[in-house]
Amino acid sequence: MPVAQCAICNNQFVAKTKRNKRCPKCINRCVTCKEISSRGQATCDKCRWEIKRHKPAFCRQCGQEFAKNGDADRCEKCRMYCAECGKPKAHQGNYCYKCKRNKSKNETRKCNHAGCENKLGQNNQTGFCKKHAYTRNEKRRNEHHNKWAGKTQAEKDKIRDIECVCAVCGKPFLATRGTIKKSQRTKTAHVCSGNCRGIIAAQSVPFFDTSIERAIENELKARKINYQKQVPLCSVTIVDFYLPEYKLVIYCDGKYWHSSEQSKKRDRKQNDILINAGYTVYRFDEKRINKSPAECIESIVVIGAT
């Protein structure tokens, strides 16, 4: 094995490879500052950053050597003046406002079409000249016309729309391919209307049982009645308790959320929709539940008879 001299303590040691510059005692020290290196590398992070930051370079304007900082290609004195006209500038960058504006105006862009050398205007955003922009758009129009030519409205609907099943109400509906791709990309369920979408949004919010809901739930458990909590029905509402054996719905209306005229009007509308669908609806307010939850359950005709 070759014998080498340590770059820190100058002692000779047996090096395993030719690249070894430090002895086993100084293996954890930096070659430049001779302090302990956290990663055990030849140069610590601080010295490596200083070497990279102050790398010597030559100014492209005056030719003098300067300490390069980042991507600068001119020294500090030359950076105070415009690289085009030589006048002092009051902002960062190589050019003053006037030279920068003139340079952007003089820049010429060419058409992106293969073999076309036509120059583009300053406000052109398509990247094509007038001739090739027209032929490009005409080609797209012809492809769209050939796709739908000679087909009836029913055939167009089969190509454009896909039959899906709503994740809330279970009804079949037609959805465009764009909406299906969007729902797959965002990982959301297929819904048929805005009401069903609102129900899914409400179910995604973390839910905590209120005190009156816990009181009714404890009473249902004591009577051994099968029930379901927070069930969406008729794409209109999420009921507090649903009894599938009796097709019965129970609402626990708190004073804060169900005392205004607007909320009462909404509750009446929900009741009408559920009754027309064949459900039996019972609403108990907060005052009645706090007084006696057992009386609320006994007031239900089906349960009171059993």
Instruction: Tell me the pLDDT of the chain (306 aa) as tens digits.
Output: 678 888 888 888 888 777 777 888 887 788 777 777 765 677 777 777 666 655 667 887 888 877 666 667 788 788 888 888 888 876 677 778 788 777 666 666 788 887 888 887 767 777 788 778 767 677 777 776 777 677 777 777 666 677 788 888 888 888 877 777 777 777 777 788 888 888 887 777 777 788 999 999 999 999 899 999 988 888 888 899 999 988 999 999 988 888 899 999 999 999 999 999 999 999 999 999 999 989 988 888 666 555
- Name every residue whose Cβ is closer than 8 Å to that of residue 153 and which is 6 or more positions away in sequence: none
Q: Is 65 exposed, middle or buried (0-12, 13-18, 19+ CB in 10 A)?
A: exposed
Q: Is the dihedral of CA 291, 295, 296, 299 positive or negative?
A: negative
pTM over 0.75: no
Domains in the chain with CATH codes: 3-53 (no CATH), 55-111 (no CATH), 157-200 (no CATH), 209-305 (3.40.960.10)
Copy the structure tokens of residue 288.
């009645």
Strand partners, 4: 13
CA atoms within 13 A on the CB side of 266: 11
Cβ neighbors of 290 (< 8 A, separation 6 or more) are: 212, 215
Q: 105 — phi, psi (to 5°)?
A: -70, -40
